Structure 1
Amino acid sequence: MAEGIAGLPPGPVFRGMRNDLASVLCYLGAWEARRPIALLDPNLSAEALAELTRRFRPAALLGFTHVPDGPPPSRGDPAGGPLASLWGDGLRPHPDLAVLLATSGSTGSPKLVRLSRQAVLANAVSIASALAIGPGEIAPTTLPLYYSYGLSVLNSHLVAGATVVLTENTFMMRSFWRLLDAHRCTSMAAVPYQYQMLRRLRFNGAEHPALTALTQAGGRLAPELVKEFAGQVDRFYVMYGQTEATARIAVLPPERLADKAGSVGRAVPGGRLSIEDGEVVYRGPNVMMGYAETAEDLARGDDLGGVLRTGDLGWLDSDGFLTVTGRLKRIAKVYGVRVNMDDVERLLRDSGPVAVTSGDDRLTVWAEGLDVSACAALARRLAAELRIHWGGFDVRGIDRLPLLATGKVDYRALEAGA
Structure 2
Amino acid sequence: MTDAARPYTFVHRLDRFGEHPAYYLPSGEVISYAYLEKLVEKKEKRLDEIIPVGSLSALSFSTTLDNVVTYIAALRLGRALLLLSPRLSEEGRTRLLKKLKIAIFINADGTVVETGYTQNVRRDCALMLSTSGSSGSPKSVMLTLDNLHANACAISQYLPIVNEDRAITSLPLFYSYGLSILNSHLYKGASVLLTEAPVLSKLFWNQFSKFAISSLSGVPFHYQLFRQLRLERQAYPHLRYFTQAGGKLTQVQADYVKTLSNQFKIPAFLMYGQTEATARIAYLPPHLLNTYSDCIGRVIPEGELLIRDLDTNNKITAPYVAGELCYRGPNVMLGYASCARDLSLNERVSELRTGDIAEQLPNGLFRIVGRLSRMIKIQGQRLQLDDIEVILCKFNVPLCCYGMDDLLIIGYVGGDNDLAEQITHYLRESLAIHPSFIKVVKLDSIPLLANGKVNYQSLLLAAKESLSC
Whether these two folds match at TM > 0.5 is yes
- TM superposition shift of 1:82: 4.5
Query: Is the contact between residue 84 and residue 134 of structure 2 (CA under 8 Å) also seen in structure 1?
Result: no
**Structure 2 length normalisation: TM-score?**
0.69
- TM superposition shift of 1:267: 0.5
2-side partners of 1:32 and 1:322: how far apart? 36
> Are 1:248 and 2:280 an aligned pair?
yes
The residue that corresponds to 2:212 in the other structure is 184
2-side partners of 1:151 and 1:179: how far apart? 20
**Structure 1 length normalisation: TM-score?**
0.77
Query: Is the contact between residue 91 and residue 296 of structure 1 (CA under 8 Å) also seen in structure 2?
Result: no
Q: 1:205 to 1:299 in 2, by over 3 A?
A: farther
Aligned partner (choices 203, 220, 227) of residue 175 of structure 1? 203
Query: Is the contact between residue 99 and residue 138 of structure 2 (CA under 8 Å) also seen in structure 1?
Result: no
1-side partners of 2:61 and 2:46: how far apart? 18
The residue that corresponds to 1:329 in the other structure is 373
2-side partners of 1:102 and 1:299: how far apart? 17
Written as runs of structure 1 = structure 2, the 5 A alignment for 1:9-408 is 9=52, 10-63=54-107, 81-87=109-115, 89-204=117-232, 207-221=235-249, 222=251, 223-233=254-264, 234-277=266-309, 278-305=323-350, 307-330=351-374, 383=447, 393=459, 395=462
2-side partners of 1:19 and 1:194: how far apart? 18
- TM superposition shift of 1:302: 4.0
2-side partners of 1:235 and 1:390: how far apart? 27
> Are 1:4 and 2:46 an aligned pair?
yes
C-alpha RMSD of the superposition: 3.8
Query: Is the contact between residue 272 and residue 282 of structure 2 (CA under 8 Å) also seen in structure 1?
Result: yes
The letter of the residue matching 2:106 is: L
Q: 1:396 to 1:299 in 2, by over 3 A?
A: closer
- TM superposition shift of 1:89: 3.5
2-side partners of 1:34 and 1:304: how far apart? 21
- TM superposition shift of 1:212: 1.5
- TM superposition shift of 1:297: 1.1
The letter of the residue matching 2:259 is: E
**Structure 1 runs of 4+ off > 6 angstroms?**
331-334, 358-361, 384-392, 397-401
After superposition, give the CA deviation of every residue in 1:12-51 in whole Å (9 maximum; x if it has no partner).
2111111111110110010111111111111111111100
Query: Is the contact between residue 220 and residue 244 of structure 2 (CA under 8 Å) also seen in structure 1?
Result: yes
Query: Is the contact between residue 107 and residue 386 of structure 1 (CA under 8 Å) also seen in structure 2?
Result: no
The letter of the residue matching 1:226 is: V
1-side partners of 2:59 and 2:161: how far apart? 28
Q: 1:132 to 1:385 in 2, by over 3 A?
A: closer
After superposition, give the CA deviation of every residue in 1:39-81 in whole Å (9 maximum; x if it has no partner).
11111111111001001111211125xxxxxxxxxxxxxxxx3
SS in 1 for 2:87: coil
The letter of the residue matching 2:307 is: I
- TM superposition shift of 1:134: 1.6
Query: Is the contact between residue 103 and residue 118 of structure 2 (CA under 8 Å) also seen in structure 1?
Result: no
Q: 1:388 to 1:32 in 2, by over 3 A?
A: closer
1-side partners of 2:361 and 2:448: how far apart? 42
Q: Comparing both structures, which one devotes a greater share of its residues to helix?
A: 2
- TM superposition shift of 1:220: 1.1
- TM superposition shift of 1:239: 0.5
Q: 1:226 to 1:95 in 2, by over 3 A?
A: same
The letter of the residue matching 2:217 is: A
After superposition, give the CA deviation of every residue in 1:340-372 in whole Å (9 maximum; x if it has no partner).
x79xx9xxxxxxxx96757999xx9x9x9xx99
Q: What's the % identity of the aligned pairs?
A: 35
Extract unaligned runs of 5+ from structure 2: 1-42, 310-322, 376-384, 390-399, 414-419, 425-435
After superposition, give the CA deviation of every residue in 1:369-409 in whole Å (9 maximum; x if it has no partner).
xx99xx66xx57995998979998495589989xxxxxxxx
2-side partners of 1:14 and 1:231: how far apart? 43
After superposition, give the CA deviation of every residue in 1:95-141 in whole Å (9 maximum; x if it has no partner).
11111001113333241000111111100110011112121111000
After superposition, give the CA deviation of every residue in 1:186-242 in whole Å (9 maximum; x if it has no partner).
101101111011111111365111012000011111332232222233110000010
Paired residues, what number?
Answer: 364
1-side partners of 2:148 and 2:463: how far apart? 41
